[in-house]
Amino acid sequence: MGLFILRRLGVMLLTALCLTFVVFFLTNLYPNLEKLAKTQGNFRMSDEQVESYLGSRGYLQPLPRKYAEWLGLAPGFLSQDTEGNAVGRCIRPGVAPEKTPTRCGILQGDWGFSTVFKEPVSAIIATRLGLTAKLMLWVMLLMVPSALIIGVLAGMREGSRTDRTLSTLSIATTATPEYVSGVIFIALLASSRYGVSPMLAEAGLIEGKTLFKGTATSAMESANFQNFFLPVLTISLYGMGYIARMTRASMAEVMTAQYIRTARLKGVSFRNIVMKHALRNALIAPFTVIMLQIPWLLNGVVIVETLFNYKGFGWTLVQAAGNNDIELLLGVSVVSVFVVLITQLFSDIGYVFLNPRIRIS
Amino acid sequence: MEPLTWFGAYAGGFGGLLAIALTIAVICGLCAMLLSLTSSSTKGSFSLFNGIAVVVLLIVGFSYVYATVTGGAGGGMDSGSLLKILGLLLGFALFAAMLGYFMNTFFDDPAATMGYVFTLALKAIGLLIAAWLVWTLLFAGAGFRDYVAGLDPDAMPDADTLAAEKRTAIMQGRGIIASIFMRFMPVWISIAVLFTLSALYKRKLGLYGKLYDNIIGMIGFGLVMFWVFTAFYSGFFDMIATHGALDQASGMKNKLPGTPLRGAEAAEYPYYLLGGDNLARDVFSRMVMGSGIVIMIAPLATLFAFMVGITLGLPAGYFSGPALRSLKSYGAIATAVVFGLAALATLITSGFMNFLLFAVVLAIMLLLLFRTSLDTALSFLANLILAFPVILLFYLLVTPEIVETGLPQYMAVVLFAFPLIFVGVLLHSRLRTQPAKNKLWLTVWLVPMFLIYMSTINTADSKIDFWPLDFFDIPGGILVVFVSVVFVNSPTVFRIVRGLALDINSRDYVAAAQTRGEGPWYIMLWEILPNARGPLIVDFCLRIGYTTILLGTLGFFGLGLPPESPDWGSTINDGRKLLMIYAHPALPPAFALLSLVLGLNLLADGLREESLKD
């Protein structure tokens, strides 16, 4: 087991290295650097100015060298701009040039400096990730129980009307991407001119103009039902159908097992069969699915945070990518890659614990 | 001119009946569902599930209480209305419980009874809607007859005025929904013909024919064909859309559905059926035109992803042991050539330092290939791509800056080569023993494919511009979107195919083919692949839906296609900025995308069910 985890960690590290190199390569292509220079300097720079701007900041060094600097293997680039001020990778505002370390990279614990937000990348990622974690927590709390209930109800009597209705329902939710359901929800529930809000307001059932808020910006500080429910619901719906279908399949399989038939023949009540005999075994497979669903949720998070203007991790990703903020983008991709790989690892390990028939050798 | 109403002139009577039928359907449906949870078991267990329903309702009620008491919701509910809601909830729970008890006492199978009433109500709803539609379409002109009857016979207006008057009167009588129905008439006729013919000959049509035994699959197929026909008629015959995708009309900015066009000429359609967007373009026409882009790209991109996934996944699942055995094997030579070309390309495009690094990496990879199996190497690559968040990948691949570097084109060179390789190997492995026939077939297939391939990757004034026989240029945006969607999809297909190949590998017929002395590629493509077709067809349908979602995602972030393009993702993105004030521009494309993806999912579900039956 220990060896297995070690090997997986090794693969994880290799994957992260490869991926960050790919991101590094793509963000360091010349047109991207040109865009960076123009957004940082000014938009009317001539080609020579762009070149000198990039050259003086070390962006025009060979790619492997720059990558090594980012990793912290090579000393950070250092030079002087036209006014004689020291510029370079490791220079930070507020830190005297003499105190600047020679190496500043991932290995030194320095994630770099965001060119868009003018803040250290690690600080940005920490706060944004915290906000997204809050969102994800509520998504999980809503999505997992409802998906399991739907799946179990559908799977315990395969082919019944309930099964057909709930299965079609879960297909419908998997067919509704976040940007569609989010738009529909906002139009129906959060618009003061359309949907149910004008009716409710007219009937005096709600005090404000709308039932829910169409933006979740205020949820960053204080989340409540009104401003946070729609984003949470939007993300959960898309993932819910898939988990429910997996639960249904696994429940349906368990319900045909021999021991269930035995229990039935012995006269155990249907409720006890479902609750005591079938449920535990039926929930092994959905566990893996739920873990593997987390990386997918990350996608939904990006869309929903953009749609509802909730400034979390996904929103940061869009900002960083849209402005070619190289170091922030690298930080974001490292984090998301680790999220993907760690959930995979957890799902494998958890599966072994839940299902004693599986052995990892 | 008056704006159109949604349901036209004859909604009143039908509306009342419809509301009654709908209420019956909802109540019976809910009861049937609650009851079916418990039927066939002992009667006592009903209380459990009723209990769950009550608890759920109470939780919802409680969250409202909480939101109000803490005041967190800001503008939550006052206590009076809260009580009303709670009372309603409790009343409903009580009603359901009593009804259940009542039904359990008086009927043998209450769930079935309720279900029967439910289906009856559903049928009534369907009939009512159909009757309303027919009635509206038949008598839409009544307003015009009244108008003519009321005219002074001595001062008849000229024919043009009369014609215009007649048209408006008919439209007024129809309303928005019936008018939209009429615009889609070619699609309805095509679907009716297709379904009738297919249902008549379904026993001769294999898996496709079996679809007509499955109601879910049929609904899904109908939804898909609706959009396919819409794309076909609007793309080739310019039929369904009422205006151009980019036409702007004065005074139509953000106008509500059914607004008449100001000063419309006789040849113009006089209304914006689903309103105007923020640039005064017709929302309905843009939705219809948008279907063309999706229907064109999504299936084709999925097909390409399948070619890539199959070509790489089959050998990964089939071969075990080290990927390369000796330096002289074909595989080793081919790999070395490909790596050499890649290194050369790096040397030319990005300098010596990068070349050096790349060469070292390639050398290590080549050495590794002698140690590890092909499966490990390819799976690592696939996992690498899958570990990327899709949106980050899109942002890295689809920006104008990256397009400028020509990277998508280079990717197209690699990805579009896979269909060539696939067809080539497919034919060669089968006809290897008949050289004459082999040569003929390979020429017939590969030469046209090669020409298409070269015209596709070769685009004037770009990084790849040397091939003289360039028949067509794909618009830049579409190529980039296409390539990135194929790139994102192929690792998943690879994993599925690899899994299937691993599974089928151990079957007897594979062993038989090996004993006969068939080559590995023959076994993979002509023994394993046909036997994996069931799951692959189902996944193909699902994946087209997923590709549609991906295309929408790209549009939603404004990536790839030009901003004025009418595809659904871009239109949703356009509409969401004013969503809370003007919802009508964003909703039609959203529902269109939803219905197409839902159709594909239902179709896949039906196919899966039918293919499992035999």
What tens digit of pLDDT does each residue of A299-330 get?
A: 889 999 999 999 999 999 999 988 888 889 88
Distance CA A101, CA A91 (A): 8
Answer whether B353 sits within 8 Å of A63, measured CB to CB.
Answer: yes
Confidence of residue B35 (pLDDT cuts 50, 70, 90): low
Q: Which range has the worst mean pLDDT, B155-169, B297-311, B524-538?
A: B155-169
Distance CA A301, CA A310 (A): 10
- Using a CB-CB cut-off of 8 Å, the residues of chain B touching A193 are 580-581, 583
Which chain B residue's Cα is nearest to A23? B396
For residue B354, give the nearest of A63, A191, A193 by CB distance: A63
How many degrees, rounded to 5, is the angle at CA B342 between CA B341 and CA B343?
90
A30, A217, A245 from A283: Cα distances, Å: 51, 36, 12
For residue B576, give the nearest of A302, A307, A340 by CB distance: A307
Relative to beta strand A78-80, strand B259-260 is unpaired
- Using a CB-CB cut-off of 8 Å, the residues of chain B touching A138 are none
Half-sphere exposure of B261 (CA within 13 A, CB side): 23
Q: How far is B387 from chain A (nearest CA, A)?
A: 6
Distance CA B114, CA A161 (A): 12
Answer whether A32 sits within 8 Å of B402, measured CB to CB.
Answer: yes
Residue A84 has pLDDT above 70, yes or no: no
Q: Average model confidence (pLDDT) for chain A?
A: 84
Confidence of residue B73 (pLDDT cuts 50, 70, 90): very low
Which chain B residue's Cα is nearest to A309? B577
Could you report the per-residue pLDDT of B96-127, keeping only the tens digit for each? Answer: 667 766 766 666 666 677 777 777 888 888 88
Interface contacts (A, B; CB < 8 Å): 213
Distance CA B554, CA B573 (A): 10
Q: How far is A28 from chain B (nearest CA, A)?
A: 10
What residue type is assigned to position B502 of the chain? L
pLDDT at position B439 is 92
- Across the range A82-94, mean pLDDT stands at 71
Answer whether A269 sits within 8 Å of B576, measured CB to CB.
Answer: no
Q: Which of B395, B487, B584 to mutate to test the interface with A (most CBs of A within 10 A)?
A: B395
- Using a CB-CB cut-off of 8 Å, the residues of chain B touching A272 are none
| Percentage above 70 pLDDT, chain B | 87
Answer whether A224 sits within 8 Å of B67, measured CB to CB.
Answer: yes
Distance CA A58, CA A33 (A): 11
pLDDT at position B100 is 66
For residue B390, give the nearest of A153, A186, A299 by CB distance: A299
Greater confidence (B107 vs B87) lies with B87
Residue B548 has pLDDT above 90, yes or no: yes
Kindly report the number of other CB atoms within 10 A of residue B26's CB atom: 12
- Using a CB-CB cut-off of 8 Å, the residues of chain A touching B402 are 26, 29, 31-32
- Across the range A96-118, mean pLDDT stands at 80
Q: Is A79 strand, coil or helix?
A: strand
Greater confidence (A172 vs B27) lies with A172
Distance CA B360, CA B379 (A): 22
Q: Locate A227 and state its tokens.
A: 């401003």
Residue A181 has pLDDT above 90, yes or no: yes
Confidence of residue A360 (pLDDT cuts 50, 70, 90): low
pLDDT at position B60 is 57
Answer whether A180 sits within 8 Å of B552, measured CB to CB.
Answer: yes
- Using a CB-CB cut-off of 8 Å, the residues of chain A touching B586 are 183, 187
Could you report the per-residue pLDDT of B329-361, keeping only the tens digit for each? Answer: 777 888 888 888 888 887 777 677 778 878 888
Q: Which of A11, A180, A192 to mutate to test the interface with B (most CBs of B within 10 A)?
A: A180
To the question of pTM greater than 0.95 for the whole model, the response is no
pLDDT at position B39 is 52
Greater confidence (B111 vs B66) lies with B111
pLDDT at position B56 is 58
Q: Is B271 strand, coil or helix?
A: strand
- Using a CB-CB cut-off of 8 Å, the residues of chain B touching A168 are 216, 602
Could you report the per-residue pLDDT of A229-255, keeping only the tens digit for each? Answer: 999 999 999 989 989 999 999 999 899
- Using a CB-CB cut-off of 8 Å, the residues of chain A touching B569 are 179
Q: How far is A80 from chain B (nearest CA, A)?
A: 25
| Long-range Cβ pairs for the range A102-106 (8 Å, 24+) | A102/A75, A102/A76, A103/A69, A103/A72, A103/A73, A103/A74, A103/A75, A103/A76, A104/A72, A104/A76, A105/A68, A105/A69, A105/A70, A105/A71, A105/A72, A105/A73, A105/A76, A106/A70, A106/A71, A106/A72, A106/A334
Answer whether B404 sits within 8 Å of A31, measured CB to CB.
Answer: yes
Distance CA B174, CA B185 (A): 14
Q: Sign of dihedral through CA atoms B245, B247, B253, B257?
A: negative
Q: How far is B446 from chain A (nearest CA, A)?
A: 34
Answer whether B85 sits within 8 Å of A205, measured CB to CB.
Answer: yes
Q: How far is A184 from chain B (nearest CA, A)?
A: 7
- Using a CB-CB cut-off of 8 Å, the residues of chain A touching B75 are 206-209, 226
Q: Which of B41, B392, B574, B613 to mutate to test the interface with A (most CBs of A within 10 A)?
A: B392
For residue B396, give the nearest of A23, A62, A210 by CB distance: A23
- Using a CB-CB cut-off of 8 Å, the residues of chain B touching A161 are 32-33, 36, 111, 115
Q: Locate A67 and state its tokens.
A: 């990558």
Q: How far is A98 from chain B (nearest CA, A)?
A: 31
In which residue are the tokens 């990006």 written? A302
- Across the range A333-339, mean pLDDT stands at 86
Confidence of residue B41 (pLDDT cuts 50, 70, 90): very low
- Alpha-carbon dihedral angle through residues A17, A21, A22, A25, given to the nearest 10 degrees: 180
Confidence of residue B306 (pLDDT cuts 50, 70, 90): very high
What one-character DSSP code corresponds to residue B470? -
Quick one: how many helices (H) and strands (E) in chain B?
24, 2
Q: Locate A204 and state its tokens.
A: 């005096």
- Alpha-carbon dihedral angle through residues B404, B407, B408, B412, given to the nearest 10 degrees: 140
ipTM of this complex = 0.90
- Using a CB-CB cut-off of 8 Å, the residues of chain A touching B597 are 175-177
Could you report the per-residue pLDDT of A7-58, keeping only the tens digit for each? Answer: 888 888 888 888 888 888 888 888 888 888 888 777 788 888 888 888 887 8
For residue A174, give the nearest of B40, B216, B601 by CB distance: B601
Residue B38 has pLDDT above 60, yes or no: no
- Across the range B459-475, mean pLDDT stands at 76
Which chain A residue's Cα is nearest to B395? A321
Confidence of residue A60 (pLDDT cuts 50, 70, 90): confident
Distance CA A323, CA A329 (A): 10
Could you report the per-residue pLDDT of B234-258, keeping only the tens digit for each? Answer: 988 888 888 888 888 888 888 888 8
- Using a CB-CB cut-off of 8 Å, the residues of chain A touching B74 are 208, 224, 226
Greater confidence (B264 vs A325) lies with A325
Q: Sign of dihedral through CA atoms B254, B257, B263, B268?
A: positive
For residue A35, give the nearest of B395, B401, B590 by CB distance: B401
Q: Which of B118, B579, B581, B608 to mutate to test the interface with A (most CBs of A within 10 A)?
A: B579
| Percentage above 90 pLDDT, chain A | 24
Distance CA A339, CA A132 (A): 13
pLDDT at position B554 is 92
pLDDT at position B61 is 58
Could you report the per-residue pLDDT of B354-413, keeping only the tens digit for each? Answer: 788 788 888 888 888 888 888 888 988 998 888 888 888 898 888 888 888 888 888 898
Could you report the per-residue pLDDT of A122-167, keeping only the tens digit for each? Answer: 999 999 999 999 999 999 999 999 999 999 988 888 887 778 888 8
Answer whether A35 sits within 8 Å of B63, measured CB to CB.
Answer: no
Residue B524 has pLDDT above 90, yes or no: yes
Spell A255-268 as b/e; 16+ CB within 10 A means b. Answer: beeeebeebeeeee
Distance CA A312, CA A125 (A): 9
Backbone angles phi, psi at B572, to 5 degrees: -60, -45
Q: Which range has the worst mean pLDDT, B19-23, B59-63, B603-607?
A: B59-63
- Using a CB-CB cut-off of 8 Å, the residues of chain B touching A214 are 579-580
For residue A18, give the nearest of B384, B405, B545 by CB distance: B384
Q: Is B127 strand, coil or helix?
A: helix
Distance CA B474, CA B37 (A): 55
Residue B64 has pLDDT above 80, yes or no: no
Which chain A residue's Cα is nearest to B602? A171
Answer whether B72 sits within 8 Å of A193, measured CB to CB.
Answer: no
For residue A183, give the nearest of B395, B402, B576 by CB distance: B576
Answer whether B392 sits within 8 Å of A32, measured CB to CB.
Answer: no
Answer whether A26 sits within 8 Å of B396, measured CB to CB.
Answer: yes
Relative to beta strand B271-272, strand B259-260 is antiparallel
pLDDT at position B27 is 76
Confidence of residue B75 (pLDDT cuts 50, 70, 90): very low
For residue A205, give the nearest of B33, B77, B357 by CB distance: B77
Q: Is B522 strand, coil or helix?
A: helix
Distance CA A162, CA B49 (A): 13
Answer whether B76 sits within 8 Å of A207, measured CB to CB.
Answer: yes
Answer whether B45 sits within 8 Å of A271, measured CB to CB.
Answer: yes
- Alpha-carbon dihedral angle through residues B60, B63, B69, B75, given to the nearest 10 degrees: -80
Distance CA B532, CA B542 (A): 16
Q: Residues for chain A: how many in total?
A: 361
- Across the range B31-56, mean pLDDT stands at 53
